[in-house]
Amino acid sequence: MRRRILLAFLLVVVATACALGIPLGYTAFQVVENLTREDLVARAQRIAASLDEQLAGGPFVDLSPVRIAVPEGGRLTVILPGSDPIVHGPDPGVDVISEQVPIVQQGSMRLDIPAGPMRTRQAQVAGLVLLLVVLTIGSATGVAILTARRLARPLRHVADRASRLGAGDFRPDLR
């Protein structure tokens, strides 16, 4: 009896943990990517605004004032019509997050960063959600064991009493 009660509790707990944990993990995974992209877009827009002001004063582009806005390990590429691309920063590799923003005066600029740090944060967040799900299942298992014992004890007593009555023992039960 206790085993059935325990299994029923555990089934409900595991189903609930999965039903809530999987969407939470996916959402957290997406939130990390969205925050990274939003930060990159904000930086790219600030850089584009600065470059737009420079281009309003003449055709020459100086990247020194905007270098501080380029994330660590990122690459800034300014594409102006009729000239070679102007590049600042190291090659971010193959797996990159890239945002391209138009420059109002002319051309566009692209900001690329390596996706590795974002993937690491995503893995950390997914690990945290998994840890929370495991802790939830573990603590619920403890509660389920205690509850199953408490519920099964009176039922076991009734079953024992019924078997004694069936065997012909009609002595009064003190419980």
d(CA 45, CA 68) in angstroms, rounded, equals: 14
Which strand (E) or helix (H) includes residue 77? strand 75-79
Question: Under a CB-based contact definition with an 8 Å cutoff, are residues 108 and 101 in contact?
Answer: yes
Q: pLDDT truncated to tens, each residue of the chain (175 aa)?
A: 678 888 888 899 889 988 999 999 999 999 999 999 999 999 999 999 988 888 887 777 888 888 888 998 999 999 988 888 989 999 998 999 999 999 887 889 999 999 999 999 999 999 999 999 999 999 988 988 888 888 878 888 888 888 888 888 888 877 7
Question: Under a CB-based contact definition with an 8 Å cutoff, are residues 137 and 130 in contact?
Answer: no
Listing DSSP states for 78-135 in one string gives: EE-TTSPPEEES----SSEEEEEEE-SSS-EEEEEEESHHHHHHHHHHHHHHHHHHHH
pTM confidence score = 0.74
97: its two tokens:
């997050």
